[in-house]
Chain A
Amino acid sequence: MISTQETRARTLPRKRQAERVTQLKGAVSRLAIQASLWIWAILVVFPFVWMIYTSFKTDQEIFFSPWSLPQTPRWDNFVRAWTKAHIGQYFFNSLVVVVPSVIFTLLFSAMAAYVLARFPFRGNRLILYIFISGMMFPIFLGLVPLFFLLQRLSLLNTFFGLILVYIAYSLPFSIFFLTGFFKTLPSELHEAAIVDGTNQWQAFFLIMLPLAQPGLVTIGVFNVLGMWNQFVLPLVLMSDNTKYLLTQGLAYMLHQQYYMNDWSGLFAAVVIVMLPTLLTYSLFQGRIQKGLTVGALKG
């Protein structure tokens, strides 16, 4: 699925860069290019850098000298954010929801994608389209009915309910992505296994699923990021503020700030929130970039 574009871009990287015809020649152009690139890089990076060193300052330092570095690093800002501002609680809540959601999304979408990609049967295309069409609808459309649906099922304001919703809404893209992926896997192993007498379940779990590992990792990372950052769903479905997830908790903290004035704590809170994302990104950025953009190119 990703193959042609990737292999072309990957087989001759160095040579292509050098050969890549410089469409703007001359030292001046080069300088202008570097300058533009630098300016945007600073625009992107500096707000984060500023936020990180500001999170170590005291409230007075923050107010009176927004640009300066902290005198001494105030780690207690982080402790306060974690405990008094409940970021620790929100972090834990997010984990409780995201981890099972990702696991089951991967499991269910792999199962569905496998069957849809490799087995001919009546209604195969229809079911695939039904899943994929889910990507086209804005989440707003279903928000109110979803709210009442969960209420009727007594799942409102529960982690279990939220997990079910997270999985359901992640299925369209994950199935879309994995179906394409499963189509590229070779059939020989599967065929050989069936001929040898393994049943279809064993063939999937013991042979085809391990083969699908690269695709699963990519879509897994994508789902981890998407679910960790999800805002609207917990905002609407979780009303008990001890059950807030990290995103809505952070927004709540910000809106409360105008009364509480713990700026240093708030800065520390945002840094805490950003860390897992930063970590995931540094580990997986290649995959993330390829996965997201290829998904869009194919779509």
Chain B
Amino acid sequence: MYRGKYSVIIPFLAPPLILYAVFVLYPYAQAMYVSLTHWSGVSPTPQFVGLRNFARLVRDDYFWNALSHNLIYLAVLPASILALGFFFAFLLTQGVRGAGFYRIVYFFPQVMSVVAVGVLWSFVYHPTLGLLNGFLRLIGIQNPPVWLGNPSTALLAVGAVVIWQAVGFYTVFFIAGMESIPTTYYEAARLDGATGWHLFRHITLPLLWENVRVAAVFLAIGALDMFGIVQTMTEGGPSRATDVLGTYLYENAFKHSQFGYATAIAVTLFVLVLALSLLVMRATVRETVEY
């Protein structure tokens, strides 16, 4: 069966490997080096400056401002999305009529481009012609906030959109997990007198814990990697009220041509993502429940 295998192995692996090595691996590797340089793209070669970019980063108020927003999102978004996702997954596995319909509907925002979602919600949030303020005025609120234009509401407003887009995905994700738990477990527990909450705490939650961990890591990474939605809706404004590491990095690279510095931010982001993933995995370790 494996006769002449190298006549396939090499030609089949070569094109993908080459493309991947050139356009993915090489830039990633080079990034490590570029972060140690000063480079504005004018001279053909970057100028090595050691750790100066990182020192600058530590003293940069805008960097900390962006990071603080990522951290706020990290604190709020994963928890809300997981809670809502779990809540709806739970409801939809209770033998409710039309569960399939709800799944289809809830999942839809996830399939949209982050730009389309961002533009849609920019409209919804628009102070005068927007859906939200129109609704608020209808119920009597005279001067509804300028959601995206006001530094004190912008961060929250963008966060709400992220939640809106993500809940459906995690709902479906948890349903898939819940459906693989054998009903016999629930029946046996019921025979022993267990009630709803007990069933949830002692059967559903432990058996779904691995799924929760995966979801938690994805969401945590997502909170740090935010870019598209912010860039579309506010570009980091107003007055940097919604700036995140992704948008700050983008601005430094492509608006100010500070390529070395921007890459240093990217490397920092990468390290943070790694550290965070490890942390979340460690913090959510439980004894694996076999079935």
A residues contacting B by CB (< 8 A) are: 5, 8-9, 16-24, 33-34, 36-37, 40-41, 43-48, 50-51, 54, 62-63, 66-67, 108-109, 111-112, 114-116, 119-121, 127, 130-131, 134, 137-138, 140-149, 164-165, 167-169, 171-172, 175, 187, 190-191, 194-195, 199-201, 204, 225, 228-229, 231-232, 235-236, 246-248, 250-251, 254-255, 263, 266-267, 270, 273-274, 277, 280-281, 285, 288-290, 292-294, 296-297, 299
A145-B31, A168-B20 given; A255·B235 CB < 8 A: yes
Question: What chain B residues lie within 8 Å of A142 (beta carbons)?
Answer: 24, 27-28, 30-31
CB pair A288–B111 under 8 Å, yes or no, is yes
CB pair B227–A140 under 8 Å, yes or no, is yes
CB pair A112–B13 under 8 Å, yes or no, is yes
24 A-B pairs with C-beta separation under 8 A: A18-B95, A20-B94, A20-B95, A21-B183, A23-B94, A48-B108, A66-B129, A111-B12, A112-B12, A121-B5, A134-B20, A134-B24, A138-B266, A140-B266, A140-B270, A141-B269, A168-B20, A171-B19, A187-B1, A229-B113, A246-B113, A251-B115, A293-B169, A296-B215
Interchain CA distance A266-B28 in the complex, whole Å? 37
Specify the chain B residue showing the minimal Cβ separation from A62. Answer: B129
CB pair B104–A285 under 8 Å, yes or no, is yes
Specify the chain B residue showing the minimal Cβ separation from A54. Answer: B123
* Residue B140 is within 8 A (CB to CB) of chain A in the complex: no
Specify which of B4, B13, B123, B164 is in contact with A51 (CB 8 Å cutoff).
B123
CB pair A168–B22 under 8 Å, yes or no, is yes
Interchain CA distance A145-B46 in the complex, whole Å? 11
CB pair B26–A149 under 8 Å, yes or no, is yes
* Residue B105 is within 8 A (CB to CB) of chain A in the complex: yes
Interchain CA distance A109-B130 in the complex, whole Å? 44
* Residue B74 is within 8 A (CB to CB) of chain A in the complex: no
B residues contacting A by CB (< 8 A) are: 1-9, 12-13, 15-17, 19-20, 22-28, 30-31, 34, 41, 84, 87-88, 91-96, 99, 102-116, 118-124, 128-131, 133-135, 138, 164, 167-169, 172-173, 176-177, 179-180, 183, 186-187, 190, 195-196, 199-200, 211, 214-215, 218, 221, 225, 227-228, 231-232, 235, 246, 249-250, 253-254, 259, 262-263, 266-267, 269-270, 273
Specify the chain B residue showing the minimal Cβ separation from A9. Answer: B179
**Extra 9 A-B pairs, beta carbons < 8 Å, given A263-B129, A296-B214:** A8-B180, A47-B121, A67-B131, A138-B221, A140-B225, A141-B31, A145-B34, A148-B41, A267-B123
Nearest-CB distance from A68 to chain B (Å)? 10
Interchain CA distance A94-B1 in the complex, whole Å? 42
CB pair B105–A44 under 8 Å, yes or no, is yes
Nearest-CB distance from B155 to chain A (Å)? 19
CB pair A140–B17 under 8 Å, yes or no, is no
CB pair A200–B124 under 8 Å, yes or no, is no
Question: What chain A residues lie within 8 Å of B8 (beta carbons)?
Answer: 115, 119, 200-201, 204
Question: What chain B residues lie within 8 Å of A62 (beta carbons)?
Answer: 129
Interchain CA distance A254-B249 in the complex, whole Å? 21
Task: Tell me what chain A mostly uses at the interface: helix, strand, loop, or mixed.
Answer: helix
Specify which of B30, B93, B249 is in contact with A140 (CB 8 Å cutoff).
B249
Interchain CA distance A264-B6 in the complex, whole Å? 59
Question: What chain B residues lie within 8 Å of A18 (beta carbons)?
Answer: 95
Specify the chain A residue showing the minimal Cβ separation from B165. Answer: A44
CB pair B91–A143 under 8 Å, yes or no, is no
Specify the chain B residue showing the minimal Cβ separation from A188. Answer: B1
CB pair A33–B91 under 8 Å, yes or no, is yes
Specify the chain B residue showing the minimal Cβ separation from A25. Answer: B196
Specify the chain A residue showing the minimal Cβ separation from B138. Answer: A67
Interchain CA distance A168-B17 in the complex, whole Å? 9
Question: What chain A residues lie within 8 Å of B28 (beta carbons)?
Answer: 137, 141-142, 145
Interchain CA distance A16-B135 in the complex, whole Å? 41
A119-B5, A140-B266, A296-B218 given; A289·B103 CB < 8 A: yes
Question: What chain B residues lie within 8 Å of A36 (beta carbons)?
Answer: 87-88, 91
